[in-house]
A = this chain, B = another copy of it.
Amino acid sequence: MQKPGLPKGTRDFGPLQMARRNFILNTIKDTFQLFGYQQIETPAMENLNTLTGKYGDEGDQLLFKILNSGDFLKKVSPEDLSAGANATLPKVSEKGLRYDLTVPFARFVVMNRNELTFPFKRFQIQPVWRADRPQKGRYREFYQCDADVVGTESLVCEAEIILMIRDVFSKLGLKDYSIKVNNRKILTGISEAIGAAGKEGPLCVAIDKLDKIGWEKVKEELTERDFSAESVEKLAPLVSLNTDYKGKIEFLKEFLAGSEIGLKGVEEFEEMLTILGQMGENLDFVDFDVMLARGLSYYTGAIFEVKVNHVSIGSVSGGGRYDNLTGVFGLSGVSGVGFSFGVDRLYDVLDELNLFPEESLKGTKILLTHFDQKGFDYALSILTKLRKAGIKAEIFPDVTKVKKQLDFASKKGIPFVGICGDNEIQTESLALKNLETGNQEILKIEEVISFLQNN
């Protein structure tokens, strides 16, 4: 007999995990909708030519490919075997599993450009798959949760992203976190200002590691990457810059005085703050981090990254503005800005901080229990009344020992049981027992309904 297992790097989600995940996802959904974002879904499978080449060579290797249906070998010759897997791949596979939600979204926008209303604000919550080596906290199947606006360059979008993060965190009960913000143009300006124009790519890669490896190691890496000693020297005051956002803006205006694009980045940052101010928001929570780089090379404007303080988990949200999301599919000039929440990481954060609200995870509110067939029949008649009043209710479906029924309720986390004994049948009532406190009282059915609706 076969012993069943799961493919490595994948997970089942049982009832408790699902309730907690839904708590997070519904909170995020509510916020997205409050801000006018609309949900879309795209297929799990995409044509390989949609996916390939969009995530770098490493990404291409991590794509899960679907074997063609039927005789998948029919185009393969013995010579292909010696040519190797990469050469043979196009003959046995035409489709792959979604690697992220960004490329499918770009494809969606291009294919539906004549029907969509721009600026188009969409959100998308779906699993993605990566053939990564599984390890703690890294899975081969995981949900992404993205929101993007395309078709406008308005900095209202950036401001609203910050507000959405705050709204979600506030609803999740998260208080101590920082929203780091920077602008890719400032990074470009910095590379110009330190005499390393055009090298913001390697500059970003190196300083992206500042948090992890420290300034000394980053200096070494910059030197290895052919930054001159003079450039590295010029960068130092920025790294040690320790002031509030106003001070940083002042500093940068001077530091970037010779860089048009750098000053444009500062200006965009200031305008975003102005908008937030006009929206009545306190600006203290915006953590202007002029060294924040994020790895992705397609960002062209604002970049965001969110960390929860005092937990062992890395960034839980991030994003930025890009100028040419859809160019690769033949539609240029579509500017956009987006961000995403890391659902698995948020789950771990809420778990670590014990922030999952008991109430929102509750399923069934009351289990009707019985001693014999007569009580069972009576319970059936009550059940309908409870459900008609919108109360999540169950009957233990077999006539059996009451102890077994109470065990069932307590294991399933059902807070109340309604005991149907002879006395209750005669008085058309229920003995309502609170399983947490052990309190029990006899109530008329109408009283049970109004009690449970309010508790």
Contact = CB atoms under 8 A, between A and B. Distances in A.
Count identical subunits in the complex. 2
A23 to B, nearest CB: 12
Interface stretch (A174-182, A272-280, A340-348): A272-280
Interface in A90-126: 92-95, 97, 107-108, 110-112, 115-117, 119, 121-122
A383 B154 CA distance: 16
22 contacts: A2-B330, A5-B47, A7-B94, A14-B40, A14-B115, A15-B38, A18-B40, A19-B38, A33-B392, A36-B363, A36-B364, A36-B392, A44-B129, A66-B66, A66-B97, A67-B67, A73-B88, A117-B411, A117-B412, A119-B397, A154-B398, A156-B380
A3 to B, nearest CB: 7
B81 A280 contact: no
Interface residues of A, number: 107
Given A15-B122, A76-B81, A392-B33, A93 B67 contact: yes
Interface string A362-402: 01100000000000010011011101001011110110000
Contacts of A12: 40-43, 108, 111-112
A45 interface: yes
B81 A73 contact: yes
Given A12-B43, A39-B19, A156-B397, A381 B66 contact: no
Given A38-B363, A47-B6, A278 B381 contact: yes
A157 B157 CA distance: 50
A214 interface: no
A7 B46 contact: yes
Contacts of A62: 69
Contact of A44 (B3, B72, B141, B156): B141
A421 B70 CA distance: 65
Contacts of A18: 38-41
Contacts of A278: 377, 380-381
A73 B4 CA distance: 26
Nearest to A80: B73
A383 B129 contact: no
A450 interface: no
A39 B66 contact: no
Nearest to A274: B377
B398 A4 contact: no
A4 B36 contact: no
Contacts of A70: 61, 85
A217 B126 CA distance: 47
A88 B81 CA distance: 13
Contacts of A95: 7
A211 interface: no
